[in-house]
């Protein structure tokens, strides 16, 4: 089984914290769709003999496309990747794009899951992040999508914004739970280099997020969603029982995927490649030069080991010790168990006969623990 990710590199306006690849000019949207369609035929052999199980329209903002534009690319997907066993087709959408007409049209496409970029149900946070929607639109978008028959919905929420008190974060979580969405992804606001947020903080015109506030709000997040019956199945992801995001879970379970569009990444088990993160160069190389502009790296055994540790430790399934022994040898398993011992003594991880999993406390230190378990 495999997945396909399609990157639509356009946004209405730039959120100040964002370091994804996108352009706020839609002037070349038509050419971009033609280029992505052509890329499909260039990459048709990448997934070899695996059936496509999930498709994920991400970005950028794929909800800027019309249902007809989505269907046009969809037809080319069918043509180039006929081996499909589809269970999940997700569209990332911003609340301000979800109007009745668009949702109605979307019902006539294969999209069966929406991932809505809510981020907060409160205006002061949305303004701080320079989001294109307001609090009222956030709430309305989810209810409207549910009314139109989309029950498989994920929402994104951001915590740690300096505009949000702990009480307001609790309110955000209560509002999310009240909406009854089966899936919630939640991330701490991070200040990425070269973003508008980083510049504003440097100039002193905006307050920076504080680590201890984010850590506290992460604990509030775990408490509130646990109480509401969500499983904390990945460090930033929570689902009602069994309602995991299949596409992302396949990433975490080391399945192959193909990324289409500028900046999109692909993985086939032994190497990674990533398309150029530049719309003009991406389109020119495909449309005028008949080639794809990308970089590639072959993964060494150490790379594969470290990636497995980093990704699996973040999930509720944890590090599979049998997999480590089978893929990397008994000695690797032994070394890992020895290295992990000091975190078990702090109660940050639980070691059993077949796995290593983060404890609740350890979830606050996931990256640090993973990097300490890496092979040098
Ligand atoms: S809508 Fe998403 S991709 Fe676009 S700028 Fe905002 S966070 Fe980034």
Q: Express each pLDDT in 50-94 by its tens digit.
A: 999 999 999 999 999 999 999 999 999 999 999 999 999 999 999
User: What whole-number distance in Å separates Cα of residue 246 and Cα of residue 257?
Assistant: 12
- Contact by Cβ (8 Å): 223, 195: no
Q: What is the mean pLDDT of residues 113-117?
A: 98
- Report whether pLDDT(335) > 90: yes
Q: What's the pLDDT at 88?
A: 98
Distance 317 CA to ligand 1 centre (A): 30
How much is the pLDDT for 351?
98
Spell out the residues 6+ positions from residue 229 whose beta carbon is closer than 8 angstroms to its own. Answer: 240, 241
Q: Which atom of ligand 1 is nearest to the CA of 13?
A: 5
Q: Which atom of ligand 1 is nearest to the CA of 19?
A: 8
Out of 26, 62, 96, 117, mutate this one to test ligand 1's pocket (max ligand atoms within 8 Å of CB): namely 117
Ligand 1 pocket list (CB less than 6 A): 11, 14-15, 18, 20, 22, 59-61, 94, 117
* 275 CA distance to ligand 1 middle (Å): 19
* Token pair for 135: 């609090």
The secondary structure of 296-321, three-state, reads EEECCHHHHHHHHHHHHHCECCCEEH
Q: Indicate whether 49 pLDDT > 90.
A: no
Strand partners, 351: 356
**What pLDDT score does 238 carry?**
98
- What band does 350 get if pLDDT is binned at 50, 70 and 90? very high
* φ and ψ at residue 213, rounded to 5 degrees: -70, -45
> Going by DSSP bridges, is the β-strand pair 2-8/257-260 parallel, antiparallel, or unpaired?
parallel
Residue among 15, 95, 127, 262 to mutate when testing ligand 1 (max atoms within 8 A of CB): 15
Q: Which two tokens stand for residue 364?
A: 């606050």
Q: What mean pLDDT, rounded, does the chain reach?
A: 97
pLDDT confidence tier of residue 243, bands split at 50, 70 and 90:
very high
The pTM assigned to this predicted structure is: 0.97
Q: Which of 14, 17, 129, 157 to mutate to test the pocket of ligand 1 (most atoms within 8 A of CB)?
A: 14
How many angstroms is it from 80 CA to the middle of ligand 1?
29
**Residue 373 CA to ligand 1 centre (angstroms):** 33
The predicted model gives 151-157 an average pLDDT of 98
CA of 132 to the centre of ligand 1 (A): 9
Take atom 3 of ligand 1 and give the residue whose Cα is closest.
60
Confidence check: pLDDT of 373 > 90: yes
Please give the Cα distance from 362 to 344 (Å, whole number).
9
The pLDDT tens digits of the residues spanning 268-309 come to 989 999 999 999 999 999 999 999 999 999 999 999 999 999
Residue 48 has pLDDT above 90, yes or no: no
Residue of the CA atom closest to atom 8 of ligand 1: 18
pLDDT at residue 253, rounded to an integer: 92
CA 163 / ligand 1 centre spacing (Å) = 19
- Count of beta carbons in the 10 Å neighbourhood of residue 295: 9
At residue 143 the predicted structure's pLDDT band, cuts being 50, 70 and 90, is very high
Nearest protein Cα to ligand 1, atom 6 = 15
Which atom of ligand 1 has the smallest separation from the CA of 59?
3
User: CB atoms < 10 A from the CB of 204, how many?
Assistant: 8
Q: Which residue has the tokens 């949702």?
A: 103
How high is the pLDDT of residue 3?
97
Secondary structure (H, E, C), 194-259: CCHHHHHHHHCCCCCCCHHHHHHHHHHHHHHHHHCCCEEEECCEEECCCCCCHHHHHHHCCCCEEE
- Give the mutation target among 17, 19, 20 for probing the ligand 1 site: most ligand atoms within 8 A of CB: 20
Going from the Cα of 60 to the center of ligand 1, the distance in angstroms, rounded, reads: 6
Q: Give distance in angstroms: CA of 341 to centre of ligand 1.
A: 40
β-bridge pairing 2-8 and 52-59: parallel
Q: What is the mean pLDDT of residues 342-369?
A: 97
For residues 193 and 195, what is the distance between their CA atoms, to the nearest angstrom?
6
pLDDT the model gives residue 285: 98
CB atoms within 10 A of CB 145: 23
Give CA–CA dist 93/7, Å, rounded: 13
Other beta carbons within 10 Å of 208: 15
pLDDT of residue 311: 97
pLDDT digits (tens, 9 = 90+) for 303-328: 999 999 999 999 999 999 999 999 99
Does 376 have pLDDT greater than 90? Answer: no
Report the nearest atom of ligand 1 relative to the CA of 11.
Answer: 4
Structure-token match 């199980």, residue found: 53
**159, 186 contact by CB (below 8 A):** yes
């Amino acid at each position: 089984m495999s997945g396909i990710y399609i990157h639509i590199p356009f946004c209405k306006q730039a959120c100040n914290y964002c370091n994804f690849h996108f352009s706020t000019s839609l002037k070349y949207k038509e050419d971009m769709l033609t280029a992505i369609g052509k890329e499909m035929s260039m990459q048709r052999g990448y997934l070899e003999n695996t059936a496509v199980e999930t498709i994920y329209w991400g970005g950028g903002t794929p909800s800027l496309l019309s249902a007809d534009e989505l269907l046009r690319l969809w037809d080319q997907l069918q043509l180039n990747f006929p081996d499909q066993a589809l269970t999940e087709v997700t569209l990332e959408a911003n609340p301000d794009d979800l109007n009745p007409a668009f949702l109605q049209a979307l019902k006539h496409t294969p999209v069966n899951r929406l991932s809505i970029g809510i981020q907060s149900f409160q205006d002061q946070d949305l303004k701080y992040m320079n989001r294109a929607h307001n609090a009222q639109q956030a709430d309305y978008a989810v209810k409207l999508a549910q009314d139109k028959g989309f029950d498989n919905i994920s929402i994104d929420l951001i915590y740690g914004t300096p505009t949000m008190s702990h009480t307001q974060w609790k309110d955000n979580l209560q509002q999310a739970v009240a909406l009854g969405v089966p899936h919630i992804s939640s991330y701490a606001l991070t200040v990425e280099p070269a973003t508008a947020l980083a510049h504003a903080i440097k100039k002193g015109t905006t307050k920076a997020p504080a680590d201890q506030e984010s850590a506290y709000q992460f604990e509030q997040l775990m408490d509130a969603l646990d109480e509401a019956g969500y499983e904390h199945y990945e460090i930033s992801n929570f689902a009602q029982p069994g309602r995991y995001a299949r596409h992302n879970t396949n990433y975490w379970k080391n399945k192959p995927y193909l990324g289409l569009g500028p900046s999109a990444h692909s993985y086939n088990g032994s190497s990674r490649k990533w398309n150029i993160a530049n719309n003009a160069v991406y389109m020119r190389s495909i449309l005028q030069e008949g080639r794809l502009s990308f970089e590639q790296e072959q993964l060494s055994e150490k790379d594969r080991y470290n990636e497995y540790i980093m990704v699996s430790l973040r999930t509720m399934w944890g590090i599979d010790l049998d997999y480590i022994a089978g893929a990397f040898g008994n000695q690797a398993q032994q070394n890992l168990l020895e290295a992990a011992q000091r975190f078990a003594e702090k109660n940050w991880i639980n070691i059993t006969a077949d796995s290593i999993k983060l404890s609740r406390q350890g979830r606050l230190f996931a990256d640090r623990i993973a990097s300490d378990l890496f092979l040098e």
